[in-house]
Amino acid sequence: MEVYRLLLYRIMNNIAENVQKRIKGYLDLLWDKEGADDKSLKKYLVQGTTSSVGIRVTSIGLAFLSSVFWARILGPEDYGIYNYVYAIISILVIPTRLGLPRLLVREVAAYKVNKQWNYVKGILRRSNQFISLSGLVLIVLCSAFLFLKPNFFEDPVLERTFWWSLPLLLIMPHLAIRAYALRGLKEVVLSLVSERLIKSLVLVIVGVLVLLIGSDWFTPTSFMILVLVSFLLAFIYSIISLHNKLPDEVHRTRPFYRTKEWVRAMWPFLLLGGLTVLNARMDIVLLGILDTNKGVGLYQVAVKMGNMVTLVLASVNVVLGPLFSGLWTKQNLVKMQIVLTKSTRAIFILTIPIGLVLIFGGEWILGLLFGEEYADAGMALAILSVGYLFNAVMGSVGELLNMTGFEKYTALALGISAVVNVLFNILLIPAYGIEGAAIANLISVVTWNSFLGWFVFTKLNIVPSLFYSLK
């Protein structure tokens, strides 16, 4: 087991180094050399994206190790119980976030460009107030519901695990607004460390210790408590990071508020964030209802592995969000077209190999990493990877709409795809199990991205294609 862990760690390290080198090389090839402004833009994208990918690959590597450890420790049944509860919490947390994390990226980036530090302080303070109130209210409501319906979950392990997950309804949104505010300040690496790396690192360290001392005593409830602690540590780190990276002017100034404007603007982001989570988590929840806990565990492993396909796109989005916001503030649509087209080409080149490996070798990889009992998710992984590949090669169309004030069209596309997702899950899961859930996910992703591409073209007059000529 020790040799196995060391080998996997070295593989992930090599992947991180190679991906960073390749991204830099591809962006060098794809980006024109002419123009001082173009060079500075390329420098920002290359440095930001390679740093973002480096952190993401590291966190993905740690998350893989964590998934391997905990899937083996808990087994498909208990691992499925944890993921079922976590999917429910991910949906319940939607109203506590109020759409503020995504709004913060756009507003903080715009205020930074205009040096309106009073409003930076104001929106951060108001966001904390809104999220604290909504989180506490939801925890009270959930607690009251469980007291009134003590046998709602039927399974006592499920109920105990859910009780321990409730503090996440307050911690998760507070962590999110700080991580997204760091993105708005273009502190991409710190944002990703806060949001992803610390949690994965804690889970890996404890996973190693549990494997060494024995894991028979570990339950889904124990794992949920551990996840809660990891979120708490990440939250503390995010507080320190944001405080240190805010300009001195923000600390010294008096906060100014545009509360009515922010409230109006946050509703589309709330809808957008909610639909995004529903698209990502409803298949897990419906599997828990219509299939078995074991099916949930198998499917979640396939989803985690399939997310490798979207690694580059997600990393580029983190860097492009504040950039799109700044370009929109200056109404520089020509530069937006250049950035979108060239970043999409880089994403395409880097993503295709990952997708093909998972489509044709997914069953073998799952069996090797997670154990033979998880190899049954190989077909689901192949189907999911096709959808994730389509998502990646469409480029940063959603991020572009969100950062240019057209987030309501992103929400519309997500709304349509969420309905499609739920309907096909209900139709296909009873007959095909986890493969049915994967097919529903594929159809949903294709629907969503097709609409996003169409809205980018019709609303911004920007062509969302890697084949678009920039002459």
- Indicate yes or no: pTM above 0.75: no
Angle at 18 between CA 385 and CA 63, to 5 degrees: 55
Q: What is the largest CA-CA distance in the chain?
A: 68
Q: Which residues of 115-144 are buried (b: 16+ CB within 10 A; e: fewer)?
A: ebbbbbbbbbebbeebbeebbeebbeebee
* DSSP label of 467: T
Task: Give the pLDDT score at 29.
Answer: 41
- Number of residues written out for the chain: 471
For the chain (471 residues), the mean pLDDT of every run of 10, in chain order, is: 48 49 46 48 53 65 80 85 89 81 80 79 85 90 87 82 92 89 80 82 86 76 92 91 84 81 78 75 85 85 85 74 77 82 83 88 84 86 91 83 81 86 92 92 91 89 72 59
